[in-house]
Amino acid sequence: MAKPNVISKKDLIQFAKESLVINGIERFTLRSVAETAGVTQGTIYYHFRTKDQLLLEIVHNVCEETWTEISQQNNQHIISQAIHSAKSRCSHDSFFHKLFFTLIASSLNNDKIRSQLGEIIYKENKALSESLSKLWPESPLEGVTLETWGILMNAVVDGIALQALLQKDFPIEKTYKEVEQLFEGLSQLDREDK
């Protein structure tokens, strides 16, 4: 029996994540979310006009949870926490990254999705830059701003995720270990210069 239409958008996003895990992105529909949540399809449409809008909300929700988790770390653990968080979502079958890259492909022909994804990525870059500023009072390399380091770190993580999706035997553990060493090494450079 369907639950009454009194369900929060936040709860629906959680049910949508469950539906993604259960059904995979290929069979993910607004109807499947309604069935998982035990609500009518009209309830889903009330909160999310389209499947793309719901998928964007899921991506934003996952990113927001990650940014909050990373921003609460103390200076010594920012890099390893960011790397661990990224690695935890990285796999050959990562539904988050399948979703993310599917939305990117969709956004190439949809300005609204492109704009919303751009805003999510901007916020992610900013959160990473702010986290790095806790670790590095100033950039470890002259001429490279902390904003650029945030963008670079985000691009590296997304690039690794894309490669892991495409290559079943991609060396995720080794790659993330070395990325962590790279950023830790930059931190050491910063300390040695002082």
123 and 67 Cβ atoms separated by less than 8 Å: yes
| pLDDT of the residue at 162 | 96
User: How many residues comprise the chain?
Assistant: 194
Residue 25 belongs to domain spanning: 1-49
CATH code at 19? 1.10.10
Give the pLDDT mean for 115-138: 86
Say whether both 170 and 146 belong to one domain: yes
What is the Cβ-side half-sphere exposure of residue 100, based on CA atoms within 13 angstroms?
Answer: 21
What does R_g of the chain's alpha carbons equal in angstroms?
Answer: 19
CATH code at 132? 1.10.357.10
Q: What is the DSSP letter of 110?
A: -
* CA gap 70, 64 in Å, rounded: 10
Which 3 state secondary structure label does DSSP give 187? helix
Say whether both 44 and 73 belong to one domain: no
Say whether both 101 and 157 belong to one domain: yes
Say whether both 85 and 11 belong to one domain: no
Number of domains making up the chain: 2
- Residue ranges of E strands in 4-53: none
* CA gap 177, 165 in Å, rounded: 18
Lookup result for tokens 């991506």: 59
Is residue 1 very low, low, confident or very high in pLDDT (cuts 50, 70, 90)? Answer: very low
- The model's pLDDT over 64-85, given as tens digits with 9 standing for 90+, comes to 777 676 666 666 677 787 888 8
